[in-house]
Amino acid sequence: MEIDLEKLPFDVDFHPSNDVLAAGLITGHLLLYRYAAESPPVRLLEISAHTESCRAVRFVNEGRAILTGSPDCSILASDTETGSPITRLENSHGAAVNRIVNLTESTVASGDDEGCVKVWDTRQRSCCNSFHVHEEYISDMTYTSDSMKLLGTSGDGTLSVCNLRSNKVQTRSEFSEDELLSVVIMKNGRKVVCGTQTGTLLLYSWGFFKDCSDRFIDLSPNSVDALLKLDEDRVITGSENGIISLIGILPNRVIQPIAEHSEYPVERLAFSHDRKYLGSISHDHTLKLWDLDDLMQVSGNPTHNHSASADSDSDGMDIEDSIPKSSKGTKRKNSGKTQNLSTSSNFFADL
C-alpha dist (Å) from residue 47 to 12, 75, 117, 306: 14, 14, 26, 41
92-120 pLDDT tens trace: 999 999 999 999 988 999 999 999 999 99
Residue percentage of the chain with pLDDT more than 70: 83
Per-residue DSSP letter, 320: P
* Banded pLDDT at 320 (limits 50, 70, 90): very low
Q: What is the pLDDT of residue 330?
A: 35
C-alpha dist (Å) from residue 67 to 22, 107, 129, 197, 205: 10, 12, 18, 27, 32
Q: Is 300 exposed, middle or buried (0-12, 13-18, 19+ CB in 10 A)?
A: exposed
Q: pTM (2 decimals)?
A: 0.85
CA distance 71 to 95: 7
Task: Say yes or no to pLDDT of 289 above 70.
Answer: yes
The kind and range of the H/E element at 294 are helix 292-299
Task: Say yes or no to pLDDT of 311 above 60.
Answer: no
Which amino acid, 315? D
CA distance 290 to 299: 14
Which amino acid, 283? H
Which amino acid, 248? G
Task: Say yes or no to pLDDT of 69 above 60.
Answer: yes
Q: What is the mean pLDDT of residues 32-36?
A: 96
**What per-residue string of b and e applies to 284-293 under the rule 16 or more CB within 10 Å gives b?**
bbbbbbbebe
Q: What is the pLDDT of residue 126?
A: 82
Task: Say yes or no to pLDDT of 66 above 70.
Answer: yes
Distance of CA 235 to the CA centre of its chain: 14
Q: What is the pLDDT of residue 125?
A: 66
CA distance 83 to 108: 20
Q: What is the pLDDT of residue 271?
A: 97
Per-residue DSSP letter, 208: B
Residues with Cβ within 8 Å of 57's Cβ and at least 6 positions away in sequence, in order, are 11, 12, 13, 22, 23, 24, 30, 66, 67, 68, 100
CA distance 349 to 123: 9
CA distance 78 to 30: 10
End-to-end CA distance of the chain: 33
Which amino acid, 218? D
CA distance 99 to 232: 24
